[in-house]
Each structure stands twice: as C-alpha cells, then as structure tokens.
A and B are shown apart, each in its own frame.
Chain A
C-alpha cells in the first residue's frame, strides 16, 4: 500500500534523487519510487512545478538530451548550490526527526 508523502518533503526528495546522477523528470519519479521501495505515491504531474521551482532557485540545472529510447528529453542535475542545500536540508530533516522522536518518546523503544 503506497502512502502520500508529507507536505514539504517533495523538494528534498527531488534533490536527493537528482544528486544520484543526471535524470529526466520521469527518471526522477522512478528514482523516488525506488528510494521509497514504492511506498510513496505522489501525483506524478506535481513533480514538474517542483522541478521548475528548484531550477528557478538555482539548485538544479537542466539541459535537453536524448533518452534511452532515443527521444528528446530534458535532463536535470544538481548544481553546487543544490548540493549545499541538500546537505543543509538533510541535516535539518535529521534534526527534526531526532527532535520529533525525542518529543514522542520513541527513541528508547
């Protein structure tokens, strides 16, 4: 059973997916599904506004290339700023998780 992802985490997931190597949009989706073992479902179209947002912020960059099936596709990769942002957000996330764990008292269990 797949589960909707938490609001605000899509950007981080995309950065993570793109950090693993140049990908087109559909590839990013597959990578996210793979990262979550198919547990997360996102409405696929929602990926694109997020990609454009990240590109506008300068965290990822894109260029047109050729896909595996020889079609024109747009490929995204992480920029230096994006790498830094990914590190920052990952740390934030871990801290949040740790704090949430602490608050909910699940750490000792």
Chain B
C-alpha cells in the first residue's frame, strides 16, 4: 500500500522516536537522545519531499493538503473565505449562464434537420417601406411558389388561431399549416400520423395533431385518442396524431412583424385557406421555405421574385420576396441584449478574478517567512508551489461547483419565466466549456499571483529571503490587479448607468396614452352575427352598460389600442393631390370618449359626438396637423378617406397628441382617427378607466359581456400597464441584469480594495508606529497610506470611463433617447465609484491605524 503524506510523517516520527529510545538506553538524557536522533535522521521536510517524489505525485496529497490549508484558512478568517467563495460563485455563475445562453441561442444550429436550408419568407414592398421593412406573405404567393419554384424543396404557410375546445375551460392555441410543414420542421407524429399532401385547403377534412402537453394534460396520454373526434369551436375535428414533446415552434414575433404567435401551441391543424383565391395583397401569413441542397439563396429569391411578378402586376403593388435565414430571423432580437450581457458578465468575472488574485497575493506575501523557512529546510520548489496553489484552487473549485448549481437553478427559472427577447430558451443547456473557461480565469489569475512571486522568491538565498519586506514583483502585480478591478467595474457601472437612463426615459416619457387604472378588454361578437350593423349595435349596447357600472370612470372602444400595431395603413393627404401621393399613416376607428379614456390629450377642436353620426368626420394627430397642414389650422379642413375602393372626404374636427401605435421606442406615426360607427368588425378593444377593486369590477364586466351574448376569456383582459411592461420587457431585463452585474462588480471591487488596504496597513504597522512615535498625526499617516493604496485606482477609473463612453457611443443607436448630451453619466458614475473606493479605503485605513504607537512597535 503506497503511503499518504500523513502516513509518511507518522513513519518518520516513529523512526526518530525509536532511535531516541535506543540512544536513551545507551545513557543519553531524553533531550540529548532526541536531538541526536534528529541529527542522524537529517532534514524531515527534505525526506518527506523526496519520499513523495519517490512514490510519485498524487492527487490525494493535493486534496488532503488543500483541505488542511483551506480548513485552516476558514478557521482563521471565515468572513474572508465566505466572501471569496461568494464572489467566485457569482462571477463564474453569471459568466457560465450568460455564455451558455449566448451559445445556445445565437450559435447553436436550430433543432430542425438541415436547418441551414430553412428560410423565413417575407415581402418587401417599397410603398410600405416607411412603415414596415417587410411584411408577411399572402397565402396566394405561397401557392404560386409551391407550384412553380423548382429551387424550393418544400414550402409551408403558417398562421395562428385560437379555438375553444369543447369541455376545456381555457382556449387552445393552434397553428394552421400546410402539409410541407412537417417535412420542414422534421417532425413525425409520436402517435398517429401527420398530414397528407392533399389534406389542406377549403375542402379538406377537419383534422388535428395534439401537442404532447395537451395530449397528457387533457387526454391522459391515452393512445386510443387517435382517430377520435373533438370539437373545436363546436366543429367536429378528427385527431390524426400527437406531436413529439420537444418540437420548437415559433412564438411571439419570431417570424417577423405583424405575425404574433402565442407562447405555447396546443394543436396543429391543416390550413383551410383557399390559397389560389386569396388576395395577393392580403399580407397575413408566415411562410417557411426549405431550399433544395445546393440552391443558392440569391437564385431562389430571384426565381421566387419572377413567380411573384405577375401577381404583383395584377395587384398594382410592387413587392418582392425576401428570404431571411430562419436562424437569424428567430435570433435577431436577442443579438444585442445577449452580447451586451455577455460583455457585462465578462467584466464582472474580470473584477472577481482580479480581486481573488489580489487576495491570494496578499496571503502568499503574508506567509513569505513560512515560505522562506520551508525552502531553507529543503522543501522543493514544486512542493512550495503545490502548497501555495492548493488554497486558491480549492476555493475556485468550491466557487465553481456552487456556480454550476446556481446557474442551473437560474436557467430553470429563466426558462419558466420565458422572457420574450430570449428565443429558444427550452433548447438552452448549461455549457460545460463555458463553465470551465469561466472558472479558469480566477484560477489562472490566482495561480499567477502565487507563481510569479514564488518563482522569483525561490531564486533568492534563504538567509536573505527571510528579511524581505515584500515578495519580488508583488507590488507591480498588486497594482495591475487593482487597476484591472477599478477599470472593469467603472466601465460596467458606466454602461449600466447609461442603460438605466435610457430605460427611465422610456418609462417616464409621455407616449401619448396613460396607463394608470386602465384595463383593456378584447371582445368579439359571436361568429353567427355577420351583419356589421348588428355587431355595431351589440358593441354600442355593451359600451353603454360598461359605462354605467359603479367604479367605471371612463370607457371607450377602438379597433386597435396603442402598441397593438396597425390594422389600416393608408395614405394621408388633402383632397387636391392624386390619391396614394400622401405619406402612409395609421388609421383607427374609435368610439367617442376614447381620448379621455386613453389619456390622449386633445390639442384643438373636439372629440366625436353622437351628433356627428351620418357625417364624415375625422380627428388627426399633431404630426398630421404639422406635416399635412403646415402653418395652417387643420380644423374644418378635409382629408381624403378611402372606403371599399371609393375616395371620400372627411372633415377634421379635432387634433390630439401623437400616440405610439406599434413600437414604444419608435416615433409615433401619422394617425387619423375615424368614428367607430363607420366600420365595425367582430373584434373591439375596450379601455376601462376605473377606481376601486379591479378584480371585482372585472368580474362584473364579464357578467355584462356574457349577458350581452358575447365572450370575454380571461386571457383577453390586460392592464395597459402590463402592455407597456411587455413592450419594454427586453430593455428592462437588459437594464436590470447589467445594473445588477455592475453593482456586484463595484461591491466586489470595493471589498477587494478594503482587503488590500487593510493588509497593506497591517504589514506597515511598524513603520506606522515609528512615524507616529516621531510625531506624525493620525491624519497625515492615513493620508500617506491612502495615497499609496489608491494610486493604481485613478488610471483605472480613467480607462473604465473611457471604455464606458465608447460603449455608449456604440450602443447609442439602439438606446432610447440617449445622446451626446448624456456623456456626463459615465463621468458621474466614475465619480461615484471613486467616492465609494476612497471611503472604503479610508475606513479601512482609519480602522487599522487606530493603534497606540508603542503597541505598533511591539507588533514585530
């Protein structure tokens, strides 16, 4: 059995003691005997070391040595050890999590077969370019491509729909697709079958594939469900199969603007759209295409363009297909936030590593006498290094393990919360490579901080090295670490402050509507009511009833609410010009009282009134007033309105504040509001401003809606506040995360600085004692010590500020309302960090020098 270090020590001790006992028998005194035995034996550390070499280097020793060292360390300075491990956990954990997210979302290929041949198809139409860079496709285009495109291996339509499932309380979300869909996503049914090539279109039989989740929750995973009939919106539908459990499906606006998919899909149904009869300017479907192997995007795009050309000519609208690689389409919104967070995590890890390195440097410097004695006694250089490295490596290992566990928990939580700006979250798993890389930064830094001084140290004569005040190279190393920590934390804090400013401005700016106490309801008239007049009547009756409910302050309805995007995009112009010459703007139908309920300020004129019925009237936004009627009073003037192909004129009766229609961060569009009695579809969005208990009121409202023969499912109720929260979620996540990382970095850096200063002071305690005995005041001594400790911080602050400013410049186009005038923010942040650093260091210095000179002199 090959011995451990402990066993070796025991064996050597046994030898020396046995020898001493023999010598005692020969007449030596016990002391003499022991001394002689030791002399005869030779250097114990040397033979232990040679013994270790002879028996081969072993992990068990390192582990045992590290454990012993670490337990001594924990025992002596538990707070220091805990802070080290906590900061390491934080730094490594954050870096692992963010790098895993970046890898899993941005780099890993999509989980579809031949994912590099998949493209999202959008339409670029120059007349719409000012409002939409691209549009969804028409089913009509897809049918043409399906029949004629030779470079396309498969092409599918995708649409979202919501159904009520008989016997199921909540509504179910469905995707409506064409049969190529299953080939494109590479999915086969886990039970039953997918769709056959002819099973779509208006005459197709009603079939459905269940999601794994719905199959388990609603049908107890019963395989006999295949072929059974369920009722969707009361229509019998046969279950063809069950989807595999891990099939990534689009959600949110992942397939481009104006195509909004729910977060989870319960069913896939064959599309029943009559694609050949569909209007080629009806832009409301998503389409995915899989190109043939070897087909170039450019060639496919131009072939698809040629196929689309006759449709575009007949529709008199210029339009071209745009093929966007599916991977970049899905991940486009995540690039900037993830890169930003990755940089922030890297900076935090840098601060943590620099700090940890400094701590280890201080500990090695503190033990320089032990080291000198050990090496004088014959310990080999390798032995010294292993001894010196064991503690930092053990701390890093503990920190790294804790970091892995925390990162797993954080990733789970994140997947459950599912922030919309992070696509593909269920596909992300922690990346061991990223973890090892993250853990190696503090490990390597600490190792360098141990190795560099020790290497230089071991070259010095033991007799000389015992008298060294500091380790060779120690000062330069410590200063560069302090510099690194200061610059990285200031840079991170500066960027976080800029993000915070941008987010605060986004949340406090007036976007043209209020949010307080404002609930929104999406109410649909039943499918059997097809007459617009009847729908109008139903909605008008409901609105009146809602207005009379106790607690309701104001109520109004509109065909779309702020931030919900466009339904009507038409030119806005005076009657004189040729129609379609005017700039495109958003048209909305609203009830009277809408502006008061929405909190959109009336700038001139008046709201719609009942007396306007039968007349063509309009209310325009300030931008319309300024851009279409510059320098004139728009009230009473006419504006062109298109209705079912005929051109009519509406008289402007009011001007209201600009309001954001789609993106909260982009400029409010040109907007024209028309009274809702001019058009009424089945859907209307209600705005209810209320006071008192909202939950109770909503229950009353649901009763009224039901009494009126309409439906109001819970998922169609939202507060305006929540809509704004959703619209600003991506920026909020980025800001909160970056700010949290920055705070952690600054705190860590300050803690590290305090540690370094305290250590420096404790080492100079004799010098301080002499200075103070010679009459230096406490203040002078403190100033001297502070100057030395803070010296490397200043260049760090400068470099960090410069970094933050350049980062702000790079980020500026993607920030909300932040410009050159805000250059003071990183400066102010740096000043705050400097203040924090100075006060931390000052506290540490004053605490340390609060000693009597006589005591200080005795300390050596």
Does residue B432 face the partner (Cβ distance < 8 Å to A)? no
Q: Compute how far the CA of A64 lies from the CA of B400 in the bound complex, rounded to whole angstroms.
A: 38
Q: In the assembled complex, which residues on chain B have CB atoms less than 8 Å from the CB atom of A74?
A: 3, 7, 11, 14
Chain A residues lying within 8 Å of B295, measured Cβ to Cβ, are: none
Give per-residue flags for B1-41: 1 if the beta carbon is below 8 A from chain A beta carbons, else 0. Answer: 11100011011101101110100000000000000000011
In the complex, A40 Cα to B719 Cα: how many Å? 97
Closest-by-CB residue of B relative to A50 is B54
The reply to whether B41 and A44 form a contact with Cβ atoms under 8 Å apart is yes
Q: Are B54 and A52 in contact (CB under 8 A)?
A: yes
User: In the bound complex, do residue A67 and residue B18 qualify as a contact, i.e. CB atoms below 8 Å apart?
Assistant: yes
| A-side interface mostly | helix
Residues 42-81 of chain A, each 1 if its beta carbon lies under 8 Å from chain B, else 0: 0111111110110110000111000101011110000000
B630 at the interface (CB under 8 A from A): no
Query: Which residues of B are found within 8 Å of A25, using beta-carbon distances?
Result: 11, 14-15
Cross-chain contact B46 with A24 (CB below 8 angstroms):
no
Q: How far is the CA of A72 from the CA of B46 in the complex (A)?
A: 23
Interface pair B2/A55, CB less than 8 Å apart: yes
A45 touches B12 (CB 8 A): yes
Contact with B along A75-102 (1 / 0, CB 8 A): 0000000000000000000000000000
Q: Which of B350-400 contact A (CB under 8 A)?
A: none
Closest to A71 in B: B14
Contacts of B43 in A (CB 8 A): 45
Q: Are A24 and B54 in contact (CB under 8 A)?
A: no
CB distance from A95 to the nearest CB of B (A): 27
B44 in complex: contacting residue of A45, A49, A53, A72, CB < 8 Å: A45
Best-buried of B2, B10, B21, B54 by chain A (most CB within 10 Å): B54
A72 to B17, CA, bound (A): 12
Q: Which 5 residue pairs spanning A and B have beta carbons closest together? A: A45-B47, A45-B42, A49-B50, A52-B55, A49-B54
- Count of chain A residues near B, Cβ 8 A: 25
Residue ranges of B at the interface with A (Cβ–Cβ < 8 Å): 1-3, 7-8, 10-12, 14-15, 17-19, 21, 40-44, 46-47, 50-51, 53-56
Report the minimal beta-carbon distance from B558 to chain A, rounded to whole angstroms: 86
Chain A hits for B46, CB < 8 A: 45
8 of the cross-chain contacts (CB-CB < 8 Å) are A43-B40, A45-B44, A48-B11, A48-B15, A48-B50, A49-B54, A52-B8, A62-B3
Whether B2 lies near A69 (C-beta < 8 A) is: no
B47 touches A48 (CB 8 A): yes
8 additional A-B residue pairs with CB within 8 Å, beyond A25-B11, A43-B41, A55-B2: A26-B18, A45-B43, A45-B47, A46-B50, A48-B11, A52-B54, A55-B55, A74-B7
Nearest CB on B from A37, distance (A): 17
- Give the docked Cα–Cα distance between A56 and B11 (Å): 17
- Compute how far the CA of A45 lies from the CA of B242 in the bound complex, rounded to whole angstroms: 76
On chain A, the residues within 8 Å of B54 by CB distance are 49-50, 52-53, 56
Q: How far is the CA of A56 from the CA of B43 in the complex (A)?
A: 23
Name A54's closest neighbour in chain B (CB-CB). Answer: B54
Which residues on the A side are within 8 Å of B8 (C-beta)?
Answer: 48, 52
Q: Specify which of A53, A62, A73 is in contact with B1 (CB 8 Å cutoff).
A: A62
Once the chains are docked, how many angstroms separate the CA of A63 from the CA of B3? 10
Q: How far is the CB of A94 from chain B (nearest CB, A)?
A: 27
Q: Given the complex, which residues of B lie within 8 Å of A69, measured CB to CB?
A: 18, 21
How far is B43's CA from A52's CA once the two chains are assembled, in angstroms?
Answer: 17
Complex Cα distance A58/B43, Å? 27
**Residues in A1-55 with C-beta less than 8 Å from chain B:** 24-26, 29, 43-50, 52-53, 55
Closest Cβ neighbor of A74 among chain B residues: B11
By a CB distance below 8 angstroms, the chain A residues around B12 are 45, 48
Q: How far is the CA of A55 from the CA of B51 in the complex (A)?
A: 11
Chain B residues in 8 Å Cβ range of A71 = 14, 17
* Alpha-carbon gap, A14 to B51, bound state (A): 15
Q: Report Cα–Cα, A75/B847, bound state, in Å.
A: 57
* B1/A46 in contact, CB under 8 A: no
Closest residue of chain A to B48, judged by CB?
A: A48
The residue in chain B whose Cβ has the minimal distance to the Cβ of A25 is B15
Q: Roughly how many angstroms separate A44 CA and B36 CA in the complex, as a whole number?
A: 12
